[in-house]
A and B are shown apart, each in its own frame.
Chain A
């Protein structure tokens, strides 16, 4: 296969950056997208040029590192697929491919396609935990959970924190990520004690990181490699509303009869 690449090159955080064009003619359809990038980097290295910096780790769709906007879509054209699981057979011979980093003020570009996603870590730190005793290990399955609830919470837990939702959202909103993280804890019994505080503090952290506001486009769900549902955004809205208006409700006290 022959392909033409337009890749974002930016040497440092402060560099303005630009698109650069490369031609590759030794691409094999069985290569993964990242292997194609490796091939490009080998070629650049041999030519004495600086290889393209890009993030990757597991290369099997679980770590969420391989952030690239490919032809205008986060993680490329195949839905529910991370960049590392995308293959060159998904592209035509002679294809022209645009590769850009996630674009969000909260995800500054470190170099080329590598962005700094620590804003997500700070959202997690703000409330993505449960409190637990540190005594003896409890029996497995000692807390009964309704199966549907457990499955829905697990769906939310499949979020790999890749940031594609932010990259895809025309408003640069992180609501899908935050709602998935708030929900997978907040739906389970173990997550109840902090449920409403969690919703408030994670949303507040999300706001101060500078992510935009959700306009209910569902673009995040469509480009999320794990297909996280915007139903979790509705759920977060509802928990956040309760947290700011009514919870915690103090119901202690005497009552009189009449």
Chain B
């Protein structure tokens, strides 16, 4: 515990915590995008869209090993803890660095720093705002931007994303997440001391490739609904959705 505290109190340690929590959040994004793609796989014989079924599955995942909802809430807590810790350390580091140059240059030039890297705080803040909005929109239904009924994931998506502003807004935020990750994923390797000149090109290319794949996967959903490429879901009875 003492050692964790030493690490937490140092700027390198805080940066390592940003990298590890970033990795956890990145892992979540991978799972999330894979789940989202179920939107495209159609419906069961009973007419339930696979994505609705998947939503049901998440609620009971882990049964009967753990009670229904335990795994979901466990994961939510880990993610909440990670994002709060991620935000805490990056804000602390930014505040620490802000004191390091009291007098600004009249002229200053960047030779290497990339815009995504320089914009991490900006992209991150947008992501933080988006996460709150996104949960209020599609999880709780508090923000109504279309018809919303708990459990009817497919129909909820279809209704919200038929609005070009909603779909466009989601696509924009996905691009911002992509910008965050394009620097972030590689930066994680560097922070953890895993990058080296002999694998730098590979790690950078792989980071960008995975980021592009994830972001395209996310964008595919609002884009497909917006351009009307998605069939209407059959009306199915409430009682087919257990747990609601």
Contact = CB atoms under 8 A, between A and B. Distances in A.
Interface stretch (A31-39, A189-197, A218-226): A218-226
Interface in B76-133: 93, 96-114, 117-118, 120
B105 A207 contact: no
A47 B196 CA distance: 54
Contacts of A17: 103
Given A72-B105, A212-B100, A240-B10, A219 B111 contact: yes
Contact of B107 (A100, A104, A105, A231): A100
A118 interface: no
A237 B105 contact: no
A229 interface: yes
B100 A222 contact: no
A168 B110 CA distance: 8
Given A105-B99, A235-B193, A241-B193, A213 B14 contact: yes
B221 interface: no
Nearest to A106: B100
A234 B97 contact: no
Interface string B143-187: 000000000000000000000000000000000000000010011
B197 A213 contact: no
B111 A73 contact: yes
A203 B102 contact: no
Nearest to A238: B193
B237 to A, nearest CB: 53
Contact of B100 (A72, A172, A240): A172
A51 interface: no
A241 B7 contact: yes
A244 B10 contact: yes
A244 B3 contact: yes
Contact of A212 (B3, B101, B120): B101
| A223, A230, A237: residue with the most chain B Cβ atoms closer than 10 Å | A237
Contact of B106 (A19, A229, A236): A19
A215 interface: yes
A214 interface: yes
Given A105-B100, A211-B100, A216 B117 contact: yes
Nearest to B14: A213
B106 A98 contact: yes
A84 interface: no
| B99, B111, B112: residue with the most chain A Cβ atoms closer than 10 Å | B111
Contacts of A213: 11, 14-15, 93, 96-97
A235 B191 CA distance: 9
B39 interface: no
B206 interface: no
Contact of B113 (A6, A210, A212, A217): A217
Interface residues of A, number: 50
Contacts of A204: 10
Given A69-B105, A173-B100, A234-B193, A217 B117 contact: yes
B103 A217 contact: no
A237 B12 contact: yes
Contacts of A94: none
Nearest to A8: B106
A73 B109 contact: yes
Contacts of B98: 212
A216 B120 CA distance: 11
Interface in B3-22: 3-4, 6-7, 10-16
B193 A237 contact: yes
Given A213-B93, A244-B3, A203 B101 contact: no
A216 B10 CA distance: 16
Contacts of A218: 112-113
A187 to B, nearest CB: 13
Contact of A219 (B6, B93, B110, B195): B110
Given A100-B105, A104-B100, A173-B100, A234 B194 contact: yes
12 contacts: A72-B109, A100-B106, A103-B101, A103-B103, A104-B101, A172-B100, A203-B12, A212-B100, A216-B191, A237-B191, A239-B193, A241-B13
Interface of B: 3-4, 6-7, 10-16, 93, 96-114, 117-118, 120, 183, 186-187, 190-197, 200
In the A-B complex, list the 7 residue pairs whose CB atoms are closest, starting with the nearest. Answer: A238-B193, A172-B100, A212-B97, A212-B100, A72-B109, A217-B113, A222-B112
